[in-house]
Amino acid sequence: MIASNPVFSAGKRQLCDRAVATVGGMILCLCLVVWMPSRATGQQFLEYPDTIFSGEVSAEVNNSIGRCRQLCDERSGCVGFDHIAATNICRMFATVTSARVSRGSFASARQAVAGYGEPANLPEPPTTEPRQSEWLHNGSAMILRHKPNSDGSSEIEIVYDVPKAQLLRLGIRPGSTLFKGTLAEGTLVGNARLTSSRCGIIQYEMQGLFDPASSVPFFLRGAAPKRGTDCSIESWSTEGSNANLRFDPL
């Protein structure tokens, strides 16, 4: 049974059904108290085996660890709980100020406890190792390298794996970069490289929508340069294959 507590009582509603009956001249009133939980958050709790907390206790429950976790998860004001093995009492906390070792007990919190050891289920940090996928672009096999950043964006580089014969004659080799840019919130922005045997390499900005988890074709579009006989840029065009790069999954 949940103990009476001003903090925890804020999450209750009282529904009082009064049944009036006469028994020996007495009036009976039946009042039913129903606890209406908040929506479950589903947030992962950090686990501390052999631990109990100190802080502001909002409720005490004589129940299992699993039930205590569920109750705390359903209350947005519950920041953590502990289960004391010796008494089978589960305490829910409005604030957790510290933790200490208690063999056989168990504690869990929404946030790591400052100044205490690491939780047993500390999430793995996001990987920063580059991932690769294979694509087909205009007759050449390509490799897309995807390296996540700590801020949630990613560095994207698209290189030639097997260039088609025409590009080999221009000096493009396996590993040559076609595009390099940054992916943020589904939009990929960066610079493509246009190679000419006479004028060399020129870069120009391209962008498009890209989802690393998807395996559907994607496009990079922009204004591609057109060079004159002296290799200077005469104009820019959004038409043609250089301005519309298509990539199909292999």
For residue 242, what pLDDT is reported? 93
Q: What is the pLDDT of residue 32?
A: 37
* pLDDT attached to residue 121: 87
Min mean pLDDT across 44-53, 124-133, 210-219 is at 124-133
SS3 state at 164: coil
Buried/exposed code over 156-183 (b: 16+ C-beta within 10 A; e: otherwise): bbbbbbebeeebeeeebeeebbbbbbeb
Domains of the chain: 6-109 (3.50.4.10), 131-249 (2.40.128)
* Mean pLDDT within 157-184: 94
Report the candidate in 89, 108, 104 with the shortest Cα–Cα distance to residue 48. Answer: 108
Q: Pick left, alpha or beta for residue 15 (phi over 0 → left; psi -120 to 50 → alpha; otherwise beta).
A: beta
Q: What's the longest Cα–Cα distance across the chain?
A: 113
Please determine, for residue 185, whether its predicted confidence score (pLDDT) is greater than 60. Answer: yes
Q: How much is the pTM?
A: 0.51
| CB distance 134 to 250 below 8 Å | yes
| Banded pLDDT at 229 (limits 50, 70, 90) | confident
User: At 125, is the pLDDT very low, low, confident or very high (cuts 50, 70, 90)?
Assistant: low
Closest CA to 242 of 178, 198, 183: 178
**Residue whose C-alpha is closest to residue 69's, from 85, 57, 81, 56:** 81
